[in-house]
Amino acid sequence: MTDCVVRCENIHKSFLMGKEAVQALRGVSLEVMRGEIVCLMGPSGSGKTTLLNILGGLEEPSRGHVIVDGENVVALSEDRLSELRLVKMGFVFQNYNLLANFTALENVEVPMALAGVPRRTRRRKAESLLESVGLADRAQHYPSELSGGQQQRVAIARALANDPPILIGDEITGDLDSVTGFEVMEIVARLNREQGTTVIYVTHDPRMAKFATRLIQLRDGIIVEE
Ligand SMILES: Nc1ncnc2c1ncn2[C@@H]1O[C@H](COP(=O)(O)OP(=O)(O)O)[C@@H](O)[C@H]1O
Ligand SMILES: [Mg+2]
């Protein structure tokens, strides 16, 4: 088994805006090793979200390869890709994206239900995940009854439900005050330490970048600095 969990080669991505092509990525190559915490930084519009989405198989590159845990993501069928995303990658977004009509516990159970984990097992696992993010006493709360920081911790628990080797986060502390943001990043760093989860995240906050073992700067769709 290789220690490289995510590799991309010469990724290009352009979007068509009316008749004009916007070049979001212009040849990005990157290798992420198991256990790394990689932070992507760069000005707004530099391609950070696009790169995360492509690494996570949410979007297809116009050109280039993406290999996740040995699998060529670009070549996969939609079904295989969904399966791969479900077990290999956990996603956390700036706006939490929790299901409003589901409790915290149920939200954490969703990815396990999709992966066919039996009800009892997933309930127990969801409880222990909520406990690990410090929310054991909020399991029956709905997202609207939780603070931003608590919702983001539920989102992290949900992202980790199927024990993915990779956690991908896009501005996950962007809507949080700095103390709460710090707490959220500390949870991510602890999961990395304890479970070896590889983390790739975007932030524009230098204080949040301190959690990274590696810092990558993106500008105008290319990596300008490591
Ligand atoms: N779906 C889209 N359609 C058209 N243009 C897009 C789309 N997504 C991103 N872009 C453009 O690609 C560039 C990079 O965007 P993005 O990856 O969101 O940057 P960042 O996350 O660094 O702010 C920007 O110029 C943006 O306007
Ligand atoms: Mg972005």
- Does the Cβ of 47 fall within 6 Å of ligand 1? yes
Q: What angle do CA 175, 54, 177 make, to 5 degrees?
A: 10
- As beta bridge partners, residue 17 has 20
What does the alpha-carbon distance between residue 77 and residue 45 come to, in Å, rounded to a whole number? 29
Q: Where are the domains of the chain?
A: 4-98+163-225
Q: What is the pLDDT of residue 165?
A: 93
- As beta bridge partners, residue 24 has none
How large is the average pLDDT for residues 127-153? 95
- Distance between Cα 152 and ligand 2 center (Å): 17
pLDDT of residue 2 exceeding 90, the answer is no
Q: In the CATH hierarchy, which fold is given to the domain comprising 4-98+163-225?
A: Rossmann fold (3.40.50)
- Does the Cβ of 144 fall within 6 Å of ligand 1? no
Q: What is the pLDDT of residue 100?
A: 97
pLDDT of residue 197 exceeding 70, the answer is yes
What does the alpha-carbon distance between residue 42 and residue 165 come to, in Å, rounded to a whole number? 25
Does the CA dihedral 67-69-74-76 come out positive or negative? Answer: positive
φ, ψ of residue 175 to 5 degrees: the values are: -100, 10
Q: What is the pLDDT of residues 144-192, one digit of tens each?
A: 999 999 999 999 999 999 999 999 999 999 988 999 999 989 999 999 9
Q: What is the pLDDT of residues 91-104, one digit of tens each?
A: 999 999 999 999 99
Q: What is the pLDDT of residues 28-83, one digit of tens each?
A: 999 999 999 999 999 999 999 999 999 999 999 999 999 998 889 888 888 999 89
Query: In ligand 1, which atom is closest to the CA atom of 221?
Result: 14
What does the alpha-carbon distance between residue 74 and residue 138 come to, in Å, rounded to a whole number? 39
pTM above 0.75, yes or no: yes
- Does the Cβ of 45 fall within 6 Å of ligand 1? yes
- Distance between Cα 143 and ligand 2 center (Å): 23
pLDDT of residue 1 exceeding 60, the answer is no
